[in-house]
Amino acid sequence: MKRLLFASVVLLLAFAGTSYGQWYIHHMDNAAADSTFQLIGSGITNGVSTNPKAQFTLTDDATVVHEGAASMKCEWQVFTPEAWGGYLQLMHLQDRDSTFKYYDWGYASYVSLWYYNASPSTAAPGAVQMRF
């Protein structure tokens, strides 16, 4: 009986140690086909550009890869019709029961994201922001 109790405690502690792992949200190697990405912004309606100055192309790129088979490649241009400019926002939401929900980061201590910027922005310094 003592051996069974000891084995149960050891297995419980071993499992508890692995439960503190990372939450892996997305490899981004099939992002172009993923319907959980949503695009909004100036000159964008229902995820589609309604103005030629608002451009966004999402593809899977197998040449610059951090992990997996490919990486998500975003080519974009912001339409700026307002006095303050404009915006372009790409969201990745949870797919839950055919509805999309925001992630709850309340339990996380850190968030890690790898990105590669192929060419610098041609906008004035401080005019382009990347937000999470």
pLDDT at 8: 53
Cα separations (Å) of 75 from 56, 63, 72, 111?
Answer: 6, 15, 10, 24
Taking the mean position of all CA atoms in its chain, how far away is CA 111?
11
Cα separations (Å) of 30 from 9, 57, 89, 90?
Answer: 41, 14, 19, 15
* 33-42, 74-83, 95-104: least confident range: 95-104
Who has greater pLDDT, 33 or 20? 33
17 band by pLDDT with thresholds 50, 70 and 90: very low
pLDDT at 11: 47
Who has greater pLDDT, 123 or 60? 60
Q: Residue 2 pLDDT > 80, yes or no?
A: no
Q: Token digits for 21?
A: 């792992």
CA distance 87 to 129: 10
DSSP element (H, E) containing 11 = helix 2-18
Could you tell me which of 92, 117, 88, 111 has the C-alpha nearest to residue 32?
92
Who has greater pLDDT, 100 or 39? 39
Q: DSSP label at 124? A: P
CA distance 5 to 101: 42
pTM for the structure as a whole: 0.65
Share of the chain above pLDDT 90, in %: 0
